[in-house]
Structure 1
Amino acid sequence: MMAFGGNKEGVLQRGNFRQYIRSYALVIIFLGVCAIFAIASPTFLSPTNIVGVFRQIAINGVLALGMTLVIITGGIDLSVGSLMAITGVVSAMILENDPNMLAVALIVGIGAAAVVSMWTAVLVAKMKIAPFIASLSTMTIARGIALVLADGIPHTIKNAEYSQIGNGYLWDASLTGGVGFPILVLILIVIAVITTIILYNTKFGRYIYAVGGNEHAAEASGVNVVKIKFWTYVLNGVLCGVAGMMLAARITSGQPNAGDGYELDAITAVIIGGTSMAGGSGKISGTIIGALIIGVLDNGLVLLGVSSYYQQIIKGIIIAVAVLLDMKTKKR
């Protein structure tokens, strides 16, 4: 009996250990990647580089948070990069006319991305068009709008306060040995807190999960599926606008070709973070860690002198592995 009891206890312990590993797999992977690059490159753990990594992931982090909401509903949005470009162009052109209209430039720029995202929202929610096709349409339209508005050329942002959003710190970095806290990172933290509250502490957030888990069951339970999908895509558009504002401030110009390819990093961060492409499950914390993993990979590979071409190959492999793991988990 004692032997039997001991064996049972061992099985339970092994089960608990596996559950622990699964629960903290992302954190373990992140720390493992950091350890590898710390050994391979002596500059990886320098304070300046660490701050640079966090600043680097801030824009993609905001994009990925919006993408998380969309993917939880069972959708996807390929237009995020184009929406970012619209925000940058609109903001820059407003400031060209009057450099003092900072608030107007921010509000109208972000609002422009939200308005254009309504095209995807209508196509997906009301017209029942597949999100991939609908957002592909919006991606093309939005990029065209950005090019038309900007006349195909970059527009310099003529406002120092706007530029500070992308390049400034909360305090003078020289006072702390050259290491400051980037404003971009603060924006990411604020957006992460807001999306966390929306997703976990509001009826709207619960309905997002319900729609992604089983759309027909949610509708039968009284959930207005059309409304939830519509406003999820619009909210994603708002976050694309915020990310576009951050990027424009970082490069100090509104460029009609800005944000090209950003959808890949956003989707990768969400998938690595454990959000199911089938919808119905996902965590904000997972997406943040996913964005950190992508940022650390990009930074570490650059420090090691790996070509950006190979970086794209590595990201593609990561996406495939993450989806396969998600499928394997769903079968259990």
Structure 2
Amino acid sequence: MTRKMERTSPFLTAFKGNIGILAVLVLLFVALALTSPVFLTEDNLITVLRQISINVFLALGMTLIIILAGIDLSVGAVVALTGTLTVGFIVNAGIPLVPAILLGLLIGTVVGFLNGCIVSWFKLPAFIVTLATMNVAQGIAYLYSGGQSVRITNDAYTTIGTGQLFGFLPLPVLYMFVLIFIFSVLLNKTKFGTYVYAIGGNREAARLSGVPIKKVEIAVYTITGFLAAFAGIVLSARMYSGQPSVGQGYEMDAIAACVLGGVSMAGGRGRISGTVLGAMVIGVISNGLNLLGVSSFWQLVVKGIIILIAILVDAQKGKRLNFSFKFAKN
């Protein structure tokens, strides 16, 4: 009996920690099921999963960064950059498929590595550093493509974003499930994950404990760059083109997913499960508003309000935790 409880305790912990966002998700499902007969159909639910997959790719890396008390505003631009360049390598430069994809992944990884090095070595605010690299990445994508989308008809490439497993499960959704599992293990079952939480919770205490802060920070930003590159390649394959304008606002969706899922902007707190549920909430809201015929402009307003509410809730949680800590000390 005890062993069984030990095996299920992580799931129970995740459930209890995400009870609020789970309740919101259930309410959304009920409300949309009552207002749209299409919402609960199999095709639409698979569409929702496909739509949130890109956001989840980005949000997984963003979760690590925010737990470190950092931020990365460049991920959306890296999506556009890697998608555009990878397609361009294949179509315009005639580079074979696999080397072109590896080059695209390398470019995104290098952007993340540079972000991490600058933030860690020069101790500059991550907001400013990644804002700068966001503009650089976006500018390179436009310069390379001349502001035009680059069309691709290579079946082997487009299958990356449009293929299905067993005839019904989209490959991007499969990638999403695999990455969720990998990052859950990385954050909860490895020394690296322990270091991430330690740095975000108390940087000075982590340093005194011998945590290699610079190496961990660089690794986290590098991983996030890789995930953004992967998202860019999958998205360009799904759209049959590399588009320099794509990816705008993706960083905000990733941040919103993290904050909605309980990742603290102050650092040191957060779960992969919460981030995934946060991405689900955003995806369900967007899908529901589309089904109801709500303007995309209003959708931006709704997303902004959601982010604001989530940040306010996070701030109140932080105040309660600080009060509890002070009370315990006294």
Q: TM-score, normalised by structure 1?
A: 0.89
Within the alignment, does 1:41 sit opposite 2:14 as a pair?
no
What's the counterpart of residue 150 of structure 2? 155
> Does the 8 A contact of 1:83 with 1:117 survive in 2?
no
1:130-149 → structure 2 map (5 Å cutoff): 130-149=125-144
Instruction: Compute the displacement of 1:100 (Å).
Output: 7.6
| 8 A Cα contact 2:18 2:261, kept in partner | no
Q: Name stretches of at least 5 consecutive residues in structure 1 with no aligned partner.
A: 1-19, 173-179
The residue aligned with 2:83 is 88
- How do residues 240-279 of structure 1 correspond to structure 2 at under 5 angstroms? 240-279=228-267
State the Cα deviation string for residues 131-172 of structure 1 (Å, max 9, x = none).
111110110111112122223322112411211121221123
Per-residue Cα deviation, 1:200-251 (whole angstroms, up to 9, x for no partner) = 1221111111111111111111111111111110110001011111111111
Give the direction of change, closer, same or farther, for the CA distance of 1:211–1:22 in structure 2 (3 Å limit).
Answer: closer
1:126 equivalent to 2:114? Answer no
Deviation for aligned residue 1:107: 1.2
Determine the structure 1 residue equivalent to 2:174: 186
Determine which of 54, 65, 69 is the counterpart of 1:70: 65
Task: Tell me the distance in 2 between the aligned counterparts of 1:261 and 1:327.
Answer: 23
Amino acid at match of 1:227: K
CA pair 22-115 structure 1, distance change in 2 beyond 3 A: closer
Match of 1:17 in 2: none
RMSD: 1.6
For 1:95 and 1:48, how far apart are their aligned partners in 2? Answer: 32
Name the counterpart of 1:202.
190
Read off the aligned partner of 1:253 and give its amino acid letter. Answer: S
Identity score, percent: 44
Which residue of the partner structure matches residue 6 of structure 2? none
Instruction: Please give the alpha-carbon distance, in whole angstroms, between the structure 2 residues aligned to 1:169 and 1:294.
Output: 24
Q: Which moved more, 1:154-163 or 1:266-275?
A: 154-163
**Of 197, 214, 219, the match for 1:231:** 219
How many angstroms apart in 2 are the aligned matches of 1:145 and 1:314? 31
1:57 CA displacement = 0.5
- Paired residue type of 2:44: N
- In structure 2, distance between residues paired with 1:328 and 1:260: 30
Output the CA distance in 2 between the equivalents of 1:21 and 1:114: 35
Q: Which of 158, 167, 184 is matched with 2:162 structurally?
A: 167
Deviation, 1:97, is 4.6
Question: What amino acid sits opposite 1:299 in the alignment?
Answer: N
Query: Which residue does 2:308 correspond to in 1?
Result: 320
Q: Which residue of 2 aligns with 1:115?
A: 110
Query: Cα distance 1:181–1:100, how it changes in 2: closer, same or farther (>3 A)?
Result: farther
CA distance in 2 between counterparts of 1:99 and 1:29 reads: 48
Distance (Å, rounded) in 2 between the aligned partners of 1:196 and 1:51: 23
User: Where does 1:287-302 land on structure 2 (aligned, <5 Å)?
Assistant: 287-302=275-290
Is 1:50 paired with 2:45? yes
Would you say the 8 A contact 1:92–1:158 is kept in 2? no
Equivalent position amino acid for 2:233 in 1: M
Residue identity opposite 2:157 in structure 1: Y
* AA partner of residue 114 (structure 1): T
The answer (yes or no) to whether the contact 2:89–2:95 under 8 Å persists in 1 is no
1:98: how far off? 6.7
Q: Could you tell me which of 97, 101, 107 is aligned with 1:106? A: 101
- SS state of the match for residue 165, structure 2? coil
Q: Match of 2:178, as an amino acid?
A: V
Q: Which amino acid aligns with 2:237?
A: A
Aligned partner of 1:13 in structure 2 is none
CA apart distance, 1:121: 1.2
Task: Tell whether the 8 Å contact from 1:67 to 1:267 is kept in structure 2 after alignment.
Answer: yes
Identify the residue that residue 310 of structure 1 maps to in structure 2: 298
Q: TM-score by structure 2 length?
A: 0.89
Could you tell me how far apart the structure 2 residues matched to 1:83 and 1:267 are?
15
Whether the aligned pair in 2 keeps the contact of 1:100 and 1:159 (CA below 8 Å) is no
Q: Which amino acid aligns with 2:248?
A: D
Q: Any conservation in 1 of the 2:71–2:126 contact (CA below 8 Å)?
A: yes
Write the letter of the residue equivalent to 1:153.
Q
